Structures are given as C-alpha cells and as structure tokens.
Structure 1
Amino acid sequence: MTHSGSCHCGRIRFEVDGDIGSALSCNCSICQRKGSLLWFVPRAALRLLAPESDTASYTFNKHVIQHRFCPTCGIHPYGEGQGPDGDAMAAVNIRCIEGIDLAAVPVTHFDGRSK
C-alpha cells in the first residue's frame, strides 16, 4: 500500500510504501518533545515529492540519525539513518500520513532516554 504524507504547510511531501503494522513511541530527549509516532521502513520505500533541499536536518548525540524537518512550519515528517544491519532506513512520523486511524495502530514504547 502507498501512503501519502506531508509536513503541516505542505512544503515537504512524500509517499511511502508498506503496511503500517505498528509504530514506536520513543522517550529520548528529541522524540519526547516532538511527540512522533515512528514507523520504520527501508529508505527506498520513502519517496520525496519535493526537493530534498527543501528539508532541514538536525543531528545530536552520536550524529547518526538525520532528523528531517520543514524549515517553514517546523514539523518533523521523517528521519534517516541505518538499521542494525547497516541498511538505509527511514523513520516516518505516522502523524504526518494522511487518512490513517492513529488509534488503530499498535504503539510500542521504547526507552530511548536510557540508551
């Protein structure tokens, strides 16, 4: 299934392929503040419909995850990094995906604060 999403103002638009079986809620210093619900997919499953140059990026701690956000509205629709196997991954904020029932998506809580 292909899902469409965007930041609030629409400057950052994307499509992502896959079935949203669950999401992750992390309590690390940035995720807790953003309130993201993350769905991890191979990076190839995420297609930007706007130029990557329209995004801004923030890194912290080990500087291995590119937290992508819109410089206009400030919304964080996705992040990029590598999975445990070394493959490129995307962490899509499902709160930015159109037409899904967030209450129907099982959420796993991850203690990123302790990592």
Structure 2
Amino acid sequence: MSGARPRQRLTGSCHCGAVQFAITTDFPELTTCDCSICARKNALMVKVHESDFELLAGDDALTEYRFHTMTARHFFCSTCGIYPFHRKRVTPDFVGINVFCLDDFDPAGIPVRATIGKGMD
C-alpha cells in the first residue's frame, strides 16, 4: 500500500489568481499523461471526484478547450493562460487537478503513475 496521506482540503489558483478552487483529497497517487496536450503542458495531476472540487472564483475567466473525441474538457485561465484543471475523458465525473497550481503543496513522496493517453481511441 502506498501510504496515502490523510484527506485534506487545499486551495489553488492560476498564476494571476483570477481562477481559484479548492479540492479535498488524500493524494493516493499523482499522474502524468503522454497525450498530445498533456505532454505539451507537462502537468502533474491528482484525480478528485467532482464532489471534492469547488470552483471558488473565476468561472468567467475560464476558457475551455476540447479536441479529438471532444469529451475531455481542458480549462485555462483566459488572462494568464495557466491550466489549473480538466474534466476527465474516461471518468467525466472526476477532475484532473494540476498540482503545481495548489497553494503550499509539495508532491515529494507521492507515487507518480504514467498514464497512456497517446494510444486512446
């Protein structure tokens, strides 16, 4: 067993602070993805259920991008361009959070799993 952390609530934001959010998770693992967009944005993500995600501010500042099957919904701040989160393709009731957007968060010691997005139909 990976020794998951206790559940905690953390806040995060884009670079300019227009988009602000909170999540609750125990960080069982972090993921990377090799699909064409994830490889370019180089994010390290944690998956949380939509009930553990709260958009605190910035709904009007978000720009949405979809491609390929048009299922996954990638969100970016329209002011600073940062990717804070996305709605997942395979599990659309989950949100993939860019952990580098979390306040005072250190990902050290959390297992990282590489996911294969490039080969998805």
Structure with the higher helix share, 1 or 2: 1
Alignment of structure 1 residues 11-90 onto 2, 5 Å: 11-81=18-88, 83-84=90-91, 88-90=93-95
Q: CA RMSD in A?
A: 1.4
Distance 1:43 1:5, change over 3 A: same
User: 1:100 corresponds to which residue?
Assistant: 105
TM-score w.r.t. structure 1 length?
0.90
Structure 1 runs of 4+ with >3 Å offset: 81-84
Give the Cα–Cα distance (whole angstroms) in 1 for the partners of residues 54 and 39 of structure 2: 26
Letter in 2 for 1:64: T
Give the Cα–Cα distance (whole angstroms) in 2 for the partners of residues 77 and 46 of structure 1: 12
Unaligned runs of 5+ in 2: 1-7
State the identity %: 33
Q: How many residues align?
A: 113
Deviation at 1:82, TM superposition (A): 5.7
TM-score w.r.t. structure 2 length?
0.86
Unaligned runs of 5+ in 1: none
